Chains A and B, each alone.
Chain A
Amino acid sequence: NAGVTQTPKFQVLKTGQSMTLQCAQDMNHEYMSWYRQDPGMGLRLIHYSVGAGITDQGEVPNGYNVSRSTTEDFPLRLLSAAPSQTSVYFCASTTQGDEKLFFGSGTQLSVL
């Protein structure tokens, strides 16, 4: 099993550009989530999903969109990137009865 796979690992955007961060898991986990990690701020939840077709907002959802068309994939979209979205983004998944999160290796995003 590959676990949670995130692509790309690094990305540089200009203000106003759009992009999609990809996340895929092969563990058949129903729950998936996106966090951002900023220096001195810990991890903050952006969006999460409890199953295909179901998504909800976390603590810091503004500027981000998500969809969950399959159990395996949970892409995060930035429609118009802003410098404040410069961060490291982590995707995570878990399943009922497990409770611990399995994290991807992260995407480092810089918005100039």
Chain B
Amino acid sequence: SQQGEEDPQALSIQEGENATMNCSYKTSINNLQWYRQNSGRGLVHLILIRSNEREKHSGRLRVTLDTSKKSSSLLITASRAADTASYFCATDDRGSTLGRLYFGRGTQLTVWP
């Protein structure tokens, strides 16, 4: 299976701290994406990083990708209580159909006020 694996499964921090989540995957990819899911809601796309990129920023989000180690990290800086959610990495499969993504089990982030 191509399924990514997030680490840690759960993360609990105080507001203002940084949160780092990691993702590992198994096969070659075209891109890796991170999604966020608030409790009881659908997933929302956060950021996409392509296989030829090493780092990407979007607001308070920083994503890195190491294709040699088949791993990625998502850093949320200056966390807020509103960042409390589950975060999932998703990978495609080089040569696979558009939109066919493989999701990890997610990291549950709790940010305390």
Interface residues of A (CB under 8 A from B): 4, 31, 33, 35, 40-45, 48, 50, 56, 58-59, 90, 92-94, 96, 99-106
Is B97 a contact of A103 with CB atoms below 8 Å?
no
Per the CB 8 Å criterion, the residue count for chain B at the interface is 25
Interface residues of B (CB under 8 A from A): 1, 3, 31, 33, 35, 40-45, 48, 88, 90, 92, 97-106
Is A42 a contact of B48 with CB atoms below 8 Å?
no
Interface centre among A4, A56, A103 (most CB of B within 10 A): A103
Instruction: Identify the closest chain B residue to A31 (Cβ).
Output: B99
Chain A contact residues: helix, strand, loop or mixed = strand
What residues on A are CB-neighbors of B43 within 8 Å? 43, 90, 92, 101, 103
Is B99 a contact of A33 with CB atoms below 8 Å?
yes
What residues on B are CB-neighbors of A90 within 8 Å? 42-43
Q: How far is the CA of A31 from the CA of B102 in the complex (A)?
A: 15
What residues on B are CB-neighbors of A45 within 8 Å? 100-102
Is B103 a contact of A100 with CB atoms below 8 Å?
no
Assess A43 versus B88: contact at CB under 8 Å? Given A103-B44, A106-B42: yes
CB distance from B39 to the nearest CB of A (A): 11
Instruction: Identify the closest chain B residue to A97 (Cβ).
Output: B98
What residues on A are CB-neighbors of B103 within 8 Å? 35, 42-44
Q: Could you say which of B1, B42, B45 contacts A105, with CB atoms under 8 Å apart?
A: B42
Q: How far is the CA of A41 from the CA of B105 in the complex (A)?
A: 5
Q: Could you say which of A4, A48, A102, A104 contacts B100, with CB atoms under 8 Å apart?
A: A48
Q: How far is the CA of A59 from the CA of B102 in the complex (A)?
A: 9
CB distance from A107 to the nearest CB of B (A): 10
Is B42 a contact of A96 with CB atoms below 8 Å?
no
